[in-house]
């Protein structure tokens, strides 16, 4: 049985073109980039070329790009190091952020380092900009950490607007851009955001590598002790083939973004229509309007059914991989903090289908067909 993969928000398949770019770093260019001899210098050049590629695609400078182990480390670093470097006393976020942000914020609050405020949300996961303005106005020395797009429901936030609000109140702004990196263009000269992040495996690059962009107007301290790598900020030998692969994957993503966006949005629209036409009572979590949500993510809300608890399992045994929430916590027997945060009906089952450039219309149609068989609903 050929398996269907509709969990691209969790991770994406490695692009063969990326693998080819990584192979020489695995088999031939094995020097330690910190070494001063020819083997080391050769590898160091590859890292700096990758840094330059990422910077050029994001319209920023190479000195602002720091490679990390992924998005989680980058988010942790941006928040923790900013609080320490600037003695920030107030942190504003939302209840539907990725746990990389939420747990970091909660830890800082528990340590007594910050007061933590949550911005209000509507039922689709949009932030209340008036409430954010009030929180900023009434609390000096604030940091705002609001994601660009939610990884479970896909709702987009206007980070350009948030950035301008932060600028007005002299607040530090970090945005978790893991889900939009490689799928939306980011112009960091135009965007008033001090910290953004990326993870290679979210845009058909390798796992275990990401980056943090630190705006040149902000200085943070060393975040990993043990060496002078990443300009004395992150000790440890660099993940060279991961870094080269990430840069190549981002280059491909920007090169092909328009065609891939059109293809993937078409699949999402096709699934929405298929579910609406075949499953009575189907609803969707988050804002599903084109231009207001990730074109890669669709969170379907299924009506109460005796087999709801088995829905993901039944999809799996029918060869379909999807998710019941954020992949980082999907193995745990707990409800989605995102769906709880937008006050979704707990009696309904939410399933996240997320699409990629290798997904097909045939896979979408097969998934809808199997869902109908599993639920055996009254057709709409």
Q: Check whether residue 8 and residue 35 sit in a common domain.
A: no
Q: pLDDT per residue over 211-241, tens digit each?
A: 999 999 999 999 899 989 998 899 999 999 9
| Whether residues 223 and 345 fall in one domain | no
Report residue 347's pLDDT band, with 50, 70 and 90 as the boundaries.
confident
**Which of these three, 225, 252, 279, is where a domain ends?**
252
Identify whether residues 68 and 123 lie together within a single domain. Answer: yes
Taking only the tens place, the pLDDT of each residue in 153-164 is: 999 999 999 999
Q: What is the pLDDT of residues 84-138, one digit of tens each?
A: 999 999 999 999 999 999 999 999 999 999 999 999 999 999 999 999 999 999 9
Question: What CATH number is associated with residue 324?
Answer: 3.90.1150.10
H and E: helices and strands count for the chain = 12, 12
Residue 61 scores a pLDDT above 50: yes
Q: Are residues 245 and 266 both part of a single domain?
A: no
Residues 205 and 328 placed together within one structural domain of the fold:
no
Q: Are residues 106 and 230 in the same domain?
A: yes
Residues 217 and 348 reside in one and the same domain: no
Same domain, 306 and 330: yes
Are 156 and 183 found together in one domain? yes
- Average pLDDT value over all residues in the chain: 94
With a cut of 80, say whether residue 6 has pLDDT above it.
yes
- Angle, alpha carbons 252-258-263 (nearest 5°): 100
Q: Which of 252, 284, 315 finishes a domain?
A: 252
- Output the pLDDT for position 309: 75
User: Could you list the active site residues?
Assistant: 328
Distance CA 146, CA 94 (A): 7
Average pLDDT over residues 273-286: 96
Residue 225 domain-assigned? yes
Q: Which helix (H) or strand (E) holds 5?
A: strand 4-5
- Residue 379 pLDDT > 60, yes or no? no
- How many whole angstroms separate alpha carbon 350 and alpha carbon 336? 9
Residue that the structure tokens 């991770």 belong to: 11
Domain membership of residue 292 as a residue range: 4-12+257-375
Instruction: Supply the pLDDT for residue 232.
Output: 86
Residue 91 counted as domain residue: yes
Q: Which of 252, 277, 296 finishes a domain?
A: 252
Strand order in the sheet with 349-354: 283-285, 297-302, 349-354
190 and 268 share a domain? no
Domain presence at residue 380: no
pLDDT at 283: 96
Do 246 and 353 belong to one domain? Answer: no
- Same-domain check for residues 95 and 209: yes
Q: What is the number of domains present in the chain?
A: 2
Is residue 167 in a domain?
Answer: yes
pTM above 0.85, yes or no: yes
Share of the chain above pLDDT 90, in %: 90
- CATH code of the domain containing 22: 3.40.640.10
């Amino acid at each position: 049985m050929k398996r269907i993969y509709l969990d691209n928000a969790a991770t994406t398949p490695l692009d063969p073109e990326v693998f080819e770019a990584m192979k020489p770093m695995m088999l031939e260019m094995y020097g330690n980039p910190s070494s001063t001899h020819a083997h080391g210098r050769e590898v160091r050049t590859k890292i700096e070329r990758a840094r330059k590629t990422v910077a050029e695609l994001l319209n920023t400078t190479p000195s602002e790009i720091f490679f990390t182990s992924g998005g989680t480390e980058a988010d942790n670093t941006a928040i923790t190091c900013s609080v320490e470097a600037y003695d920030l006393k107030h942190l504003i976020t939302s209840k539907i952020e990725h746990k990389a942000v939420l747990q970091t914020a909660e830890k800082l609050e528990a340590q007594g380092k910050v007061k933590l405020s949550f911005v209000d949300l509507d039922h689709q996961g949009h932030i209340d900009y008036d409430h954010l303005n009030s929180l900023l106005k009434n609390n000096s020395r604030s940091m705002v950490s609001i994601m660009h797009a939610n990884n479970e429901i896909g709702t987009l936030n206007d980070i350009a607007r948030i950035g301008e609000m932060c600028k007005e109140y002299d607040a530090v702004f970090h945005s978790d851009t893991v889900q939009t990196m490689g799928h939306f263009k980011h112009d960091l000269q135009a965007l008033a955001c001090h910290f953004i992040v990326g993870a290679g495996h979210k845009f058909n690059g390798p796992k275990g590598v990401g980056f943090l962009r630190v705006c040149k107007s902000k200085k943070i301290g060393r975040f990993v002790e043990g060496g002078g790598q990443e300009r004395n900020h992150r000790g440890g030998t660099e993940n060279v083939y991961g870094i080269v692969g990430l840069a190549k994957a981002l280059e491909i993503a920007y090169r092909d973004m328009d065609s891939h966006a059109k293809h993937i949005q078409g699949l999402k629209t096709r699934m929405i229509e298929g579910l609406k036409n075949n499953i009575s009572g189907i609803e969707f979590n988050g804002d599903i309007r084109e231009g207001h949500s990730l074109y890669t993510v669709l969170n379907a809300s299924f009506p109460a059914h005796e087999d709801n608890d088995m829905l993901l399992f039944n999809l799996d045994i029918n060869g379909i991989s999807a998710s019941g929430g954020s992949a980082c916590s999907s193995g745990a027997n707990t409800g989605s903090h995102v769906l709880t945060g937008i006050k979704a009906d707990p009696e309904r089952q939410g399933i996240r289908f997320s699409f990629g450039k290798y997904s097909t219309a045939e896979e979408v149609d097969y998934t809808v067909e199997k869902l109908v068989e599993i639920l055996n609903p009254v057709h709409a």
